[in-house]
Structure 1
Amino acid sequence: MSRAQAESVIKKIIREVVQRCAQRGQPVSDTLVAFMVKAVVLDPRNGFNDDRTLTKQDIQQLEELCLDQLMETCSPSLDTIKMQVYFDMNYTSRREFLEDIHQVVESNLSTVSREITDSRVKTREELDALYCKMVSYILLRSGMGSPTDVSTMQEATAALQSVFPQTELGSFMVLLKRDKEQQLRELTMIVTGIRLFNKANDKREEKTDLYKLIPAVHSEALRVTSTGLEEDLSLSQSLAQKYTAVLEKLTDPDSQCEECDVPILRLKQALYNVRQHEAFLSMLLPAFKALSQFWIGLQDEVELLNILNNIRLNLQPFTASQAKLFSEAYLDGLLGTSEVKTDEQRMVESSDERIVPAEMKTQEWLLPETACFNRIPLQYNGICGYTLVNRDGLLLPGNPHVGVLKHKEKFYVFSSKEAALKFASCPDTFIAEVAKKVKRSPELIQLLKLYQQFPSLSPYSEMQPGEILLVKPIKCESGTQTDLHPVETKIVKSYEWNEWGLRRKAVKRTDLCTKVTHSVQTDLSHMRRENVTQTWLSKNTTCQSKRDGESHVPKPQTFLAGLRGQRDANMIKANLTRSVDE
């Protein structure tokens, strides 16, 4: 199947699945469907092969499998994938968030700015109206008050008059539009600083807390959002610890579990769901803390805070299925007298167990004493790969203090020394088993950050609808060669700097005009002997006939008979030379 054909087939499958989901009352995005198609193809239980061309029956089977998984109700696995898609499509870097906020602010203020920069005032009343527009623009851009508030307008007007009196409007009007916009931005910063300084002085304190100057609405938003985030994160961590303890108890080969009908698969999917929710909230937490520490960019931070808070609220529905399947009481019943350990407690318990590199000379181990130890990129997002395989999908965080295994330029952590030693005995085998586990639970691909191990998959935010899903990436070795001096040198060979050389050329060309054969004379052939001569090809010295050129003397020929076959036979000599007369 060619690349163009594969793209056409995948687009058709995605479009068909999206339409059929919409007909069943479950609208889904193209990105979600695209990932689900990849997950179905990767799962070895479905029997698809990347190297084989999909038949019409295969396409129908692929569509049905995708529909079954997308239409599944109360599925923690599906909710985890939806959560991942939503987060990656809505969360981006701080710089990009602020760029979008600035674009929205510029778009909202473009009308007011255009009225100020394009105005052509002539009367006193028009000048007063223009000055009021400038004060309104400053208030809207700084976010410190509303132009409809009379006291705020008076305060901002007084601050503006101290640096830009109304008599300066004449010089402002003769500026170019670009210079007017630049001056408006500078006036906004100056007036905002003056108002903040005045408010700080009104406190009459030796050390003014700038956070007390934050408007009440913004302070409430900071408090509510931070509290909500901490509560959600605490709940997810508590659930993750409970699920881990339950699965640890149920998957322990030494324990005798009485509950035979416990849905272990659903419990694992629920664990993956809350772990992913915890990971996303942990990514948001530093942003919230940073937002509460900056005052200078308060307006930008509050807008960014609202966006992050909306993302946090929209993540909550994706944890509903696991909460509906396994209530707190049900989990407590499964736990019984078992202890629920936090990740920190597990770290403390296993910190005393450390790998001795001298005893493990066949592998390279890194210990906390290693430089830049805390910045080592851990494989599987810090999860113990041995436990994931040996305990059938249980997620236990690894403890770097036990020792970090470096294998094929990748770094692996483990929950205990025993797990580290067993994994190090045959790491390639465990890595392959982890890949099999991940193929059966596609939500683990992002949770464990295994995109490099599955090159046909990419983060949701980087996927495009119709992206080739079943075609392996084309790889080839290539090389380039560049010139030693890429910049081409331009040397004019006919250039002459010597005045006498120029005179010599002039005399030569003048002399050419007086020659009879001047039409065939050139600069190179003038007054020179030709170095190449034209000659006739040499003739053959031999006779050009069939007869020999020698004398016609017959060539002597003699025949000897009776040399073979008989021991005592006599040799007969016959003269076969032809006669001269012939």
Structure 2
Amino acid sequence: MACNENVIKNMANEITRNCQANNVTVDPEFVTYMIDLLLLNPKYGKLFAKTIKRNNLAYFVDECVSMLTGDGTALNTLKMQFILQKNYDKLEILIEKHLGHIEKCLAPLVDEILDMDPGLSNEAEFHKLFRKMSIYFVLASGLGNPSYIVTLKEGMAALESVFGMEDLKAFVALPRSDKSLQLEVLLGYTSGVRLFNRDCIPLNLVDAGKACMSLLSNSLITIMQRVNKLTTAIEEAITIQDETGNVVVDLNKVNDHSELAIGDYKEIFDLLAFNRQYEVFIRKLLADVESLTLKGATYVERTKAVLQELHAAVKYKAAVPVQNVFPLFTKLWEVWRAMQNVMFIISNVNRLMGIMGSIQDKIKMPLDVLNKMLQGKTVTTDHCRINNRPSTEERLSLTSLQNYVGYPSSSDVLGVKQAEFLGFCALCLGVGALVPSNVKIGLIKFKGGYYGFCSVKMATRFSKDPERYINEALNYARNNPHLINLLNIVENVFKVKDIDDLVVVRVPKIKVFDKDIQTEMHPVPTYKEKNYTWDLWEWKRRACQWASIVNCQTHSTQTVYSHLRSDIQCQTVEPRDKSLQTNKDAGMNTVNSNYFLWGLRGHRGYGQHVMDLKAQHSMEASIIATCTWPCYNKKEDLGADETMDENLIHSE
């Protein structure tokens, strides 16, 4: 793939600049996160499969800018995912990152301490080194700010009680690696001494955990109320076509809501995805805070126990052996550091809750559309939905399905491994609807994964062609990248990122019927103005005529014969149909006509004519009274040759 890390970073910078030109401020790291998800779609991924062309790059940048400037529900879902992915992880990893960040910040000070090598007679340098070590211990322990003189004096006194000037001179003579190890040991001693001197137990740690749990619980209740409404609004509209097996949003099932469109359902799908993502994060944070609160209570008890051991070790004693008391100081510091980590995570959770709350405030619920969808319906909770027990007939039909894992065996499977697609119905995901699967229906195993369904009909259809419906869900997810991390299918989408046509839409057969339909003669009455004219002068003429008619008077006159009427009768003959006999066509045999042209051979001049060779009907000789030949008036005009020809003619 031509898009490496540097190319993606450059694209993110260009997209960020274009967004700033549109008065939209975005984080370049968030843009990089979104680009990584978009490149899983072959629509964008194949633009940079081999080489990077400027036209393809400009097209991709424009697409990203339009998404970022749109500020839709899907974009807010991506922002929430990015914030949690960047700022939250497993508790152990978070603690490691936190401690590593502290070490990184204090690394320059540690290097100064390890590099200092004052002379044995230079007391000022030794005091300076001692002061730096005290500052480091105060900062590393998190017990106050060394810029306050009281805190610094307290830290120096604690260090002096366990580490004298002679020990400091021996410390300077040690190798660098040994110095680093001794600093860590001294950090535990010094911090333990300061904690013992304070002799306080942080009971507010447990209170902070409980307050955070209460905040998360209230947020979860609000989210679940919204999720239940959205799920109830859409679940009845998702159907399967019996002929093709396509999962569609059937608007005919909501006859009372004919004004609703597919776009309204798409908007509800995106809102449901946002709230489901919010629910997942809240549940994760709530589980972590609950475990941290329990750990915090345990750490408080351990702190009490360690303090009691210390008091018992030093009570009524002027001097205590180092090997007895120093391990207790270190133990007290370790428990305190664990409580600090708990407090850090709880404060981090509170900060993330504030950020997610600000994102949620940007989401506006389309209450008018939602109320239309919920009209005549009862809101169902997830608990009721996933525990709706199917009928006996349906359970018997499920047993015949291939690779079927029935209930309660499915509960054992879910206890070990989570169902695919986060437990949502695999078929409903083909159109983007996040409908929870019913545990009582059971699961179907396919290629090592377990898939749940919201109804028996969905499970039956899935068993006939599992790969088709899985690909439909993956295809919808890669076209809507905010669902990829929500459903935990990054690896699955990555495997099919090079396949253009992942889903083949099946079209139902067209059925043709011959029907007679009676239509109205004139369904829409028409009106034609007979007196309409386009000529302005005609209207003026009519106006003048109408004006003159006003001044005229209409009257009637009775004449003498106007009242007379007469009746006249006529005799008519009704027409009738008649047929006539016509003559019969007949044929006759005729004699072939033969024609002979006389005078074509050896004759010059005029005189050629057609001889009639037809058979004569009468055998009597006909007398020729006149000569039909062209005659010449003067023989002397004829030449010698012509005279010879004429003699030949007469001789014949």
Helix, strand or coil at the partner of 1:100: helix
Unaligned runs of 5+ in 2: 239-249, 300-334, 501-652
RMSD: 4.4
CA contact (8 A) 1:367 1:373 kept: no
Given that 1:239 and 1:274 are in contact with CA atoms closer than 8 Å, whether structure 2 keeps it comes out as yes
Partner residue in 1 for 2:461: 422
Which residue identity lines up with residue 343 of structure 2 in the other structure?
V
2:400 and 2:372 map into 1 onto residues whose CA distance is 43
* Maintained 8 Å contact 1:229/1:285: yes
Aligned to 1:550: none
- 1:105 aligned onto 2:102: yes
1:69-84 residue pairs with structure 2 within 5 A?
A: 69-73=67-71, 75-84=72-81
Against the structure 1 CA distance between its residues 254 and 397, is the aligned structure 2 distance closer, same or farther, given a 3 Å change threshold?
Answer: same
1:447 and 2:448 aligned: no
The match for 1:365 among 405, 408, 411 is 405
Q: Which residue of 1 aligns with 2:220?
A: 233
Contact 1:357 1:365 in 2 (8 A): no
2-structure distance, mates of 1:63, 1:93: 34
Secondary structure of 1:405's aligned partner: strand
Q: Which residue of 2 aligns with 1:180?
A: 179
Q: Following the alignment from structure 2 to structure 1, what is the Cα–Cα distance between the partners of residues 434 and 196?
A: 53
Residues 277-296 of structure 1: pairs in structure 2 closer than 5 A: 277-292=278-293, 293-294=295-296, 295=299, 296=335
What displacement does 1:377 show?
3.6
Contact 2:426–2:453 under 8 Å retained in 1? yes
The Cα of 1:228 is off from its aligned counterpart by 4.0
Larger mean CA deviation between 266-275 and 185-194 belongs to: 185-194
The equivalences for 1:319-334 within 5 A come to 319-321=360-362, 323-326=363-366, 331=370, 334=373
Match of 1:403 in 2: 442
Q: CA deviation at 1:267?
A: 1.1
**CA spacing shift, 1:289–1:190, aligned 2, 3 Å:** farther
Match for residue 540 of structure 1?
none
Amino acid at match of 2:144: G
CA distance in 2, matches of 1:147, 1:324: 48
* Partners of 1:57 and 1:34 in 2: CA distance: 17
Contact in 2 for aligned 1:37/1:62 (Cα 8 Å): no
Give 1:313's aligned residue. 354
Contact 1:244–1:396 (CA under 8 A) maintained in structure 2: yes
Aligned equivalent of 1:21: 19
Tell me the residue number matched to 2:191: 192
The reply on whether 1:345 has 2:384 as its aligned counterpart is yes
Sort the Cα spacing of 1:83 and 1:112 in 2 relative to 1 into closer, same or farther, 3 A: closer
Counterpart residue identity of residue 379, structure 1: E
Shift of the alpha carbon at 1:384?
A: 0.9
Q: Write the distance in 2 (CA, Å) between the matches of 1:314 and 1:177.
A: 44
What is the distance in 1 between the residues matched to 2:352 and 2:150?
36
Specify the alignment match of 1:376 in structure 2. Answer: 417
Is the CA contact (8 Å cut-off) linking 2:110 and 2:136 kept in structure 1? yes
Aligned with residue 230 of structure 2, among 243, 246, 255: 243
Q: Residues 402, 456 of structure 1: CA spacing in aligned structure 2 closer, same or farther, 3 A cutoff?
A: closer
Q: Contact 2:3–2:48 (CA<8 Å) still a contact in 1?
A: no
State the Cα deviation string for residues 264-285 of structure 1 (Å, max 9, x = none).
Answer: 2111111111112222333333
Asked whether the 8 Å contact 1:139–1:147 carries over to 2, the reply is yes
Query: 2:470: which partner in 1?
Result: 431
SS in 1 for 2:356: helix
Q: Which amino acid aligns with 2:67?
A: Q
Larger Rg: 2
Paired with 1:195 and 1:153, the residues of 2 have a C-alpha distance of 12
The answer to whether the 8 Å contact 2:398/2:404 transfers is no
Q: What amino acid maps onto 2:235 in structure 1?
A: E
Aligned residue runs from structure 1 range 111-126, under 5 A: 111-117=108-114, 118=116, 120=118, 122=121
Instruction: Look up the SS of the partner of 1:447 in the other structure.
Output: coil
State how far apart, in whole Å, the 1-side matches of 2:187 and 2:8 are.
53
Contact 1:350 1:415 in 2 (8 A): no
Query: Equivalents in 2 of 1:333, 1:5: separation in Å?
Result: 46
- Residues 30-68 of structure 1 deviation map (CA, whole Å, 9 limit, x = unaligned): 42552475377549xx9x999999998776655554443
TM-score, normalised with respect to structure 2: 0.56
SS in 1 for 2:481: coil
Structure 1 counterpart SS, 2:224: helix
Residues 247 and 394 in structure 1, CA contact (< 8 A), matched pair in contact too: yes
Instruction: Give 1:212-223 correspondences, 5 Å limit.
Output: 212=203, 222=209
| Counterpart amino acid of residue 375 in structure 1 | V
Other-structure match for 2:266? 265
**For the Cα contact (< 8 Å) 2:2–2:51, is it kept in 1?**
no
CA distance in 1, matches of 2:256, 2:56: 41
Amino acid at match of 2:482: E
C-alpha displacement of 1:309: 3.9
Q: Which amino acid is 1:72 matched to?
A: G
> CA distance change for structure 1 residues 431 and 36 in 2, over 3 Å: closer, same or farther?
closer
Matches within 5 A, 1:495-534: none
Question: In 2, are the aligned partners of 1:21 and 1:27 still within 8 Å (CA)?
Answer: yes
The residue identity in structure 2 corresponding to 1:394 is A
Q: Deviations over 1:308-348 (max 9, x none)?
A: 44444333344344x32435x87457534533333223233
Residue 276 of structure 2 corresponds to 275
Pairwise CA distance, 1:395: 1.1
**Counterpart-to-counterpart distance in 2, 1:340 and 1:11:** 46
Q: 1:162 to 1:403 in 2, by over 3 A?
A: same
Contact 1:6 1:470 in 2 (8 A): no
Match of residue 412 from structure 1: 451
Alignment partners' CA distance in 2, 1:334 and 1:233: 24
The alpha-carbon deviation at position 397 of structure 1 amounts to 1.7
Residues 17 and 33 in structure 1, CA contact (< 8 A), matched pair in contact too: no
Q: Using a 3 Å threshold, how does the CA distance of structure 1 residues 336 and 112 change in structure 2: closer, same or farther?
A: same
8 A contact 1:393–1:437 mirrored in 2: yes
In 2, Cα distance between the equivalents of 1:456 and 1:363?
24
Helix, strand or coil at the partner of 2:459: helix
- Using the TM superposition, give the Cα deviation of residue 195 of structure 1 relative to its aligned residue in structure 2, in angstroms: 4.5
Amino acid at match of 2:182: Q
Q: 1:400–1:116: structure 2 CA closer, same or farther, 3 Å change rule?
A: same
CA distances 1:146-189 after superposition (whole Å, capped 9, x unpaired) = 44667656665665455444553343333233323322211221
Q: CA deviation at 1:242?
A: 1.9
Give the conservation status (yes or no) of the 8 Å contact 1:366–1:404.
Answer: yes
Q: 1-side partners of 2:237 and 2:445: how far apart?
A: 32
Distance 2:5 2:137 in 1: 52
User: By how many angstroms is 1:412 displaced?
Assistant: 0.5
CA contact (8 A) 1:36 1:66 kept: no
Contact 1:225/1:309 (<8 A) preserved: yes
CA, structure 1 residues 173+451, in 2 after alignment: closer, same or farther (shift >3 Å)? closer
Task: Report the Cα offset of residue 413 of structure 1.
Answer: 1.5
Measured after TM superposition, the shift of residue 374 of structure 1 is: 0.9
